[in-house]
Amino acid sequence: MYTHQKRSGLYAAIIAITTTNPSSALDLEELIITARHDARTIEVTEAISISPDAAELLRDAPGANIATNGPITGIPQYRGLFGPRISVSLDGSLLAPAGPNWMDPPLSYAVTAQLEALEVYRGIAPVSVAQESVGGAIDARTRRMEFTDSDQIITEGRLVGSAQSANAGYQVDADLQAANDRHRVKIAAMMQQGDDAEFAGGTILPSSYERERYDLGYGFRWGDHSIQVDYGYNDTGSSGTPALPMDIGYFEGDLYKLAYRFEPTEGLQLSASIYASELDHGMSNYALRPAPASPGSWRRNIADTSNQGFKLEASLADDTGLWRAGIDGFDESHNSNIDNPNNSMFFVVNFNDAERSVLGSYLERDQNIGENVQMELGVRVNHIRTDAGEVNGTPAMMMPPAQALRDAFNNADREQTDNNFDLVAKVNYVASDQLSLYAGLAQKQRAPSYQERYLWLPLEATGGLADGQLYIGDINLDSEQAHNLEFGLDFTGDRLQMHPRVFYYRIDDYIQGTPLGSTHPATMMVRMMNNMNGTNRADPLQFSNVDAQLFGFDMDWAWRVSQRIELSGLVNYVRGERRDINDNLYRIAPPNASLRLSYAADNWSAMVETVGYTAQNDVSGTNKELESSGYATVNLRGTWQLSPALQLAIGVDNLFDREYAPHLSGYNRVRNPDIATGERLPAMGTNLFGRMLYTF
């Protein structure tokens, strides 16, 4: 078992995703979809969200979805692309997960209760927003008081408690802030915990979780200058990830940021930030789930990650638009070591000082052409360097194929460089007060991740793919190169508004696992292990460059039926295919839609929602992906604003206790009488929940 010391602290806490507005019971929380090409903000309102995973909020963004490997390990998917293809930042700062299998994806470090907004850059992300954004960009923005105009100190805070039935889960959050014209201070704390979740057919094992988070912030302003210092401490305890070969023992780490802003004249702004994180991680296949019957099959993995980054930017507004120019850098270093607590002689150096650094520069122009046309043009250059230290392991000392893999890796030139270019051109034409037309064209590139390059032994450390396959990396992988094209319109009438988009992504050198020959040492090793252990693992795959394409349609819409009644919804469709062979891309969300009927009275609101997904039959043969069935669920929400400061909310998800398995859920890896091994994991059953929110 792990010996994990927890820091004690104040278990109090805050909030909701945005500021509560007592005058509108429906405007509880908003998910902001930012489209910089026309400075338009779409507010997607939901009645209540108490999920411990901030990624769940993305279900209200057109084109977005979540691949779930556990209750707090949601990986964003956008238009069929997920993982490192989507740039996820926390207040503009990047973070590389400590878990080689993405048990802690970047968005898991965003505390739902402390968020002001989740900004999803719809479609083609500006070059100033993200270093690598083949699949889009998301930024989690925390709530922070602005400086005031007087020396009088103003304070505000939030307290929130919530509970749910399906896993006996609860959250307690507190946020206290103070500010005047020169100073601002923030202190926040959060605790969340849940048991194994129930569904109509039994229990999902293990799906319990526990996590604490503490944050401090201080800002100082003098004249045209301001600085902001932020510190966060994350403490995740034992948490289940039933779609992965191990469960979380702990995540413990510190996050730091120092930001500076200078606005010497109207229209000119200079900003600089440096940030870092130190993250430690432990996982095992025996602490939460039933342990392997053979003591020789017990495994533990101890990993750590160190991240450092910076960004310098200057922006200048003029009569016809805005210039942005900047440089940014991000460096990540990873270690991962596997052992067996029952056998001190067993070890595998999985990743040894695997390093990936990106140094980029960009220039961007927002240009108004007359009164009706706005353009965004951007260019970015990235220099990416990766390297890794030598590796070793007990299998390489006992099995000739594993020895061949180790020696080939250690003797290779592991230091690799990529020079990548992003180009963006977007135009928005305002046809009338109600209608605007949009078109976007871009080239986006992404260098391989450290797992894709430096996974030397057949393992499942694949950044959260959760397909049950064994992989090895390829040091000589090329960068992915995507050519993105999209069209759309934005219609905003007196009662009806809609924002449809169609898109096409053509990706050359897409990184995908492909089969190895029978004489490859990795294949020989897996077959040898099968013979020794009586197992039947499939031949391993190797990360390789292939050709792919994705195309589809997404839209959000709303119709104001009356002053108090509104209908709204989402429609999403994406198809991902290989272009080099007849196969589909792995883990693509099936077509789906949602419909909401909302009613807002003076101090209460109610909402009924139905969410439906079709069957997914276009699955990846290479990844041995299973097809999935369609389903629909019904959810209810209600709120009551007792006073300007106090709000109560109740709801129920999966009202009719439908048993279903979302296509983006992983496959069960745990011995469980209620779910067969290898079967897709189900969603929770009927879940009653409530929340109390107090602002002061």
Percent of the chain residues past pLDDT 70, beyond the cut: 93
Q: What is the pLDDT of residue 621?
A: 97
Q: Tokens 């007196």 label which residue?
A: 494
| 667 within a domain of the structure (yes/no) | yes
| 688 within a domain of the structure (yes/no) | yes
Give the CA angle between residues 266, 271, 272 to the nearest 5°: 165
Q: What whole-number distance in Å separates Cα of residue 394 and Cα of residue 348?
A: 6
State which H helix or E strand residue 379 sits in. strand 373-387
Q: Judge whether residue 110 has pLDDT over 80.
A: yes
State which H helix or E strand residue 401 sits in. helix 400-411
Look up residue 4 and give its two tokens. Answer: 């994990």
Q: What whole-number distance in Å separates Cα of residue 503 and Cα of residue 439?
A: 10
Q: What whole-number distance in Å separates Cα of residue 359 and Cα of residue 81?
A: 24
Q: Say whether 248 sits in a helix, a strand or coil.
A: strand
Q: What is the pLDDT of residue 13?
A: 28
Tell me how far the alpha carbon of residue 82 is from its chain's centroid: 8
Q: Judge whether residue 37 has pLDDT over 80.
A: no
Angstrom distances, CA of residue 19 to CA of 144, 156, 180, 192: 11, 11, 19, 21
**Quick one: CA dihedral 260, 184, 49, 561, positive or negative?**
negative
Per-residue model confidence as pLDDT tens digits over 644-673:
999 999 999 999 999 999 999 999 999 999
Q: Judge whether residue 286 has pLDDT over 50.
A: yes
Percent of the chain residues past pLDDT 90, beyond the cut: 88
Q: What is the pLDDT of residue 17?
A: 30
Q: What whole-number distance in Å separates Cα of residue 554 and Cα of residue 556?
A: 7
Q: Is residue 471 a contact partner of residue 457, using CB atoms and an 8 Å limit?
A: no
Q: What is the pLDDT of residue 111?
A: 85
Q: What is the pLDDT of residue 625?
A: 97
| 10 within a domain of the structure (yes/no) | no
The tally of domains found in the chain comes to 1
Tell me how far the alpha carbon of residue 458 is from its chain's centroid: 26
DSSP E strands: which ranges in 433-540?
Answer: 435-446, 471-472, 480-492, 496-515
Residue 437's pLDDT band, with cuts at 50, 70 and 90, is very high
Q: At what angle do helices 400-411 and 521-533 cross, to 10 degrees?
A: 150
| 391 within a domain of the structure (yes/no) | yes
Q: What is the pLDDT of residue 46?
A: 40
Peptide bond preceding 52 in cis form (omega within 30 of 0): no
Q: Is residue 236 a contact partner of residue 248, using CB atoms and an 8 Å limit?
A: yes
Q: Is residue 607 a contact partner of residue 25, using CB atoms and an 8 Å limit?
A: no
Q: Is residue 188 a contact partner of residue 214, using CB atoms and an 8 Å limit?
A: yes
Q: Judge whether residue 451 has pLDDT over 80.
A: yes
| 6 within a domain of the structure (yes/no) | no
Question: 625, 397, 371: which is closest to 513 by C-alpha?
Answer: 625
| 333 within a domain of the structure (yes/no) | yes
Q: What is the pLDDT of residue 281?
A: 97
Q: 397 in the Ramachandran plot: left (φ > 0), alpha (ψ -120 to 50) or beta?
A: alpha
Give the max Cα distance, the chain.
76
The overall average pLDDT reported for the chain is 92
Q: Judge whether residue 52 has pLDDT over 80.
A: yes
Q: What is the pLDDT of residue 60?
A: 86
Phi, psi torsion values for 193, nearest 5 degrees: -155, 145
Q: Tokens 């229209």 label which residue?
A: 267
Residue 115's pLDDT band, with cuts at 50, 70 and 90, is confident
Q: What is the pLDDT of residue 32?
A: 55
| 577 within a domain of the structure (yes/no) | yes
Q: Judge whether residue 299 has pLDDT over 70.
A: yes
Q: How many residues does the chain have?
A: 696
**How big is the chain by its Cα radius of gyration, in Å?**
25
Q: What whole-number distance in Å separates Cα of residue 368 and Cα of residue 430?
A: 11
The single-letter code of the amino acid at 222 is: W
Per-residue model confidence as pLDDT tens digits over 127-180:
999 999 999 999 998 989 999 999 999 999 999 999 999 999 999 999 999 999
Higher pLDDT, 489 or 19: 489
Q: Judge whether residue 35 has pLDDT over 60.
A: no
Q: What is the pLDDT of residue 113?
A: 78
Q: Judge whether residue 104 has pLDDT over 90.
A: yes
Q: What is the pLDDT of residue 609?
A: 96
State which H helix or E strand residue 532 sits in. helix 521-533
Q: Which residues span the domain enclosing 686?
A: 29-695
Give me the helices (H) in 44-99, please: none
Query: DSSP secondary-structure letter at 49?
Result: -
Angstrom distances, CA of residue 607 to CA of 48, 59, 436, 584, 634: 10, 16, 30, 37, 11
Residue 474: CATH number of its domain: 2.40.170.20
Q: Judge whether residue 44 has pLDDT over 60.
A: no
pTM for the full model? Answer: 0.93
Q: Judge whether residue 14 has pLDDT over 80.
A: no
Q: What is the pLDDT of residue 159?
A: 93
| 11 within a domain of the structure (yes/no) | no
Per-residue model confidence as pLDDT tens digits over 192-210:
999 999 999 999 999 999 9
Least confident of 60-64, 242-246, 468-472, 562-566: 60-64
Q: What whole-number distance in Å separates Cα of residue 137 and Cα of residue 132?
A: 9
Tell me how far the alpha carbon of residue 631 is from its chain's centroid: 24
Per-residue model confidence as pLDDT tens digits over 335-380:
999 999 999 999 999 999 999 999 999 999 999 999 999 999 999 9
Q: What is the pLDDT of residue 377?
A: 98
